[in-house]
Amino acid sequence: MKRIGYILLYLCLGGVALFQVFPIIWLFLFSLKDNREIFAGSPFALPSELRWENYVKVWEGGIGTYFWNSIWITAVAIILTVLFASMVTFAITRMKWKLSKLVLGLFMVGLMIPIHSAIIPLFSMFLNVDLIDNPWSIVITYTAYNLPITIMILLGFYYTLPREIEEAAIMDGCSIHRMFFKIILPMTAPVMSTTVIINMIYNWNEFVFVNTFISSDAYKTLTVGIQNFIGQYMTDWGAIGATLIISVLPILLAFIFFSNKVVEGISASAVKG
């Protein structure tokens, strides 16, 4: 009886997994086809010939610079976001001050602004401080726009941290900064990895800001590289597929790395708990 239940359970989970994994398989097949096959054939039909030239085309399109820009902009923005968000969350959940609720409210409102109504004001602001066509405008925009969601996710975890830890640290004469960096941050490593993954996905795939604030090829990121293959009347979908596959690889690897960190962190804290 129990066995049948398990089989059913795995069938369900496996079914869901299949449903979730198929885009990557599809995308890979897609990246080896030409427009005719992509539009007319079944999505899972094998390409009639393997068009690796799609990848060559993409690579020759100068994707290397875009690649590097994507990596460093994503990384710096993640570090800033997660650090600032942790600090704010710490101050809001663990420290006592009158305006904490209000400040939290402000961050939550930040979650609600639609991107397209923000870009025009942002553009004119960056223009005034000469940050247009400067990758730092992208970094700080990513940081600011991901702070709210990062704080929201951290919040729930910070509330569950036992107070005794802080009490003990302070009794020990530990300074508050030391406590934050040496005790609190390591303890929240699992949830931090979760927010790193989420930030990474958002930053890596972000498109509207880069497109609007950056004009030099030297500062563009991978998502903009896709634009190269979208034409006025015709679009080279095979090449877009290849770009997408190339661009998803690093994030896939980083994701596997960080999600192992989640588990590591969890088992470590579970032992402690």
Partner 1 sequence: MKGKKAITKLVILLFSLVFVLAACSDDDASSDGDSKVIKFMHLWPEGSSKTHYEIVNGIIEDFETDNPGVKVDLEVLSNEQYKDKIQVLSTSDELPDVGMTWAAGYLEPYVNGNKFATLDDLLEGDLADSFVAGTAEAYALDGKTYGLPLELNIATIFYNKAIFEEYGLEAPETLEELEQVIETLNDNGVAPIALGNKDRWTGSLWYMYLADRIGGSDVLTKAIDRSGSFEDPALVQAAEEVQNLVEMDAFVKGFNGLADEEAKSMFMNEQAAMYLIATWDLPNYTTNEDVPQEFRDSVGYFHFPTVDGKGDMNSFVGGPGVGLFVAEDSDVKEEAKDFVSFFVQEWGEKSVTEAGVIPATKLDANSLELPQMYVDVLNDLNSASNLTLFADVQMSPDAAQVHLDMIQAIFGNEVTPEEFTKAHEDALSAEE
Partner 2 sequence: MKSSDKRKGLILTSGRSFSISNDMGLNEMNKVMSNKWVITLYVLPALLLIAVLVFIPLILTGYYGLMDWDGVGEMNFIGLENYITAIQDMKFWDSAWHSFLLAIFSTISLVIYLAISLILASKIKGADFLRKIYLIPMLLSSVAIAQLWIKVFNPTNGMLNHILMVLGVENPPAWLADTSIVLFAIFVPILWQYAGFYILIYYAALKNIPESIIEAARIDGASPLQIAYRIKLPLIMGIVKVTIVLAVVGSLKYFDLIYVMTGGGPNGASEVMASYMYKLAFSSKDFGYGSAIGFLLLVITLIVTIVIRKITASKEEIQY
Q: Which residues bind partner 1 (CB under 8 A)?
A: 34-36, 38-40, 57-58, 61, 119-120, 123-125, 127-129, 132, 211-212, 215-216, 227-236, 239
Residue 46 binds to partner 2 (criterion: CB under 8 A): no
**Which pair of tokens denotes residue 26?**
């599809």
- Residues within window 109-138 making contact with partner 2, judged by CB under 8 A: 109-118, 120-122, 125
**Which pair of tokens denotes residue 270?**
């579970």
Number of residues near partner 2 (by CB under 8 A): 111
Which partner from the list partner 2, partner 1, none does 147 bind, CB cut-off 5 to 8 Å by kind? partner 2
Residue 42 binds to partner 2 (criterion: CB under 8 A): yes
Residue 50 binds to partner 2 (criterion: CB under 8 A): no
- Residues within window 54-93 making contact with partner 2, judged by CB under 8 A: 84-85, 87-88, 90-92
Q: Which stretch binds partner 2 (CB under 8 A): 53-61, 68-76, 198-206, 211-219?
A: 198-206
Residue 212 binds to partner 2 (criterion: CB under 8 A): no
Residue 32 binds to partner 2 (criterion: CB under 8 A): no
* Cβ closest to partner 1, residue 20 vs residue 117: 117
Of 92, 95, 113, 90, nearest in space to 103 by CA:
92
Least distance from C-beta 264 to partner 1, angstroms? Answer: 34
Least distance from C-beta 127 to partner 2, angstroms? Answer: 13
* Cβ closest to partner 1, residue 227 vs residue 267: 227
The residue with tokens 């600032």 is 84
Residue 253 binds to partner 2 (criterion: CB under 8 A): no
- 53, 185, 207, 224: residue in contact with partner 2 (rule CB under 8 A): 207
- 160, 231, 232, 234: residue in contact with partner 2 (rule CB under 8 A): 160
Q: Which stretch binds partner 2 (CB under 8 A): 49-57, 63-71, 174-182, 212-220?
A: 174-182
Compute φ and ψ for 47, nearest 5 degrees. Answer: -65, 145
